Amino acid sequence: MTRPIVADTGGLLRALARGAAGEPSFPDYEAALTSASLVVVPALVLAELDDFLRDERVAMRKLIAEVFDPATRYEYELPLPSDVVRALELDARFKDLEIGLVDGTVAAVAERRKIYRVLTADRRDFGVIRVGPRFSQPLELLP
């Protein structure tokens, strides 16, 4: 097992995607997900996933069951008011990226939990974002 991760929407979608024969569509994403000792799923990520999977209700129900099953390594993370405030601060600090509330919350939760490893497909934004009191802590992007 590797260290914990915070899951972003695109990273989680890729990690769970399957081909017609059931094989992983993105094996490197699946490996990053399955090797993590803990997978923190921010609540806004789950809401965004629901939007992406609106035509895939079976897949969404399966994901919800896994996230809330105490036997899995998933941990559902409700945003604290301070996370939402921090997300807006990050959005303003990195205004050229237009990261928005969901990605800002992913970064804020990573910062608060001190879990700087993020499973994401959004390398452009998360590669630039810095967290911490002096905005000096980079996020480690997986895979």
Domains of the chain with CATH codes: 5-142 (3.40.50.1010)
pLDDT at 112: 98
pLDDT at 79: 96
Q: What SS3 state is found at 26? A: coil
What is the enclosing helix (H) or strand (E) of 133?
A: none
pLDDT at 1: 82
Q: How far apart are CA 19 and CA 67, in angstroms?
A: 22
pLDDT at 128: 97
What is the enclosing helix (H) or strand (E) of 75?
A: strand 74-77
What is the enclosing helix (H) or strand (E) of 142?
A: strand 140-142
CA distances to 52, 88, 96 from 81, in Å: 25, 11, 24
Q: For residues 132 and 89, is the Cβ–Cβ distance under 8 A?
A: no
Mean pLDDT for each consecutive 10-residue tract of the chain (143 residues)?
Answer: 95 94 96 97 96 92 94 96 98 95 98 98 96 96 97
pLDDT at 68: 96
Q: How far apart are CA 88 and CA 99, in angstroms?
A: 9
Provide the 8-state DSSP code for 71.
T
Q: How far apart are CA 32 and CA 143, in angstroms?
A: 6
Verdict on whether the full-model pTM lies above 0.75: yes
Provide the 8-state DSSP code for 37.
S
Q: How far apart are CA 143 and CA 140, in angstroms?
A: 9
Q: How far apart are CA 38 and CA 25, in angstroms?
A: 22
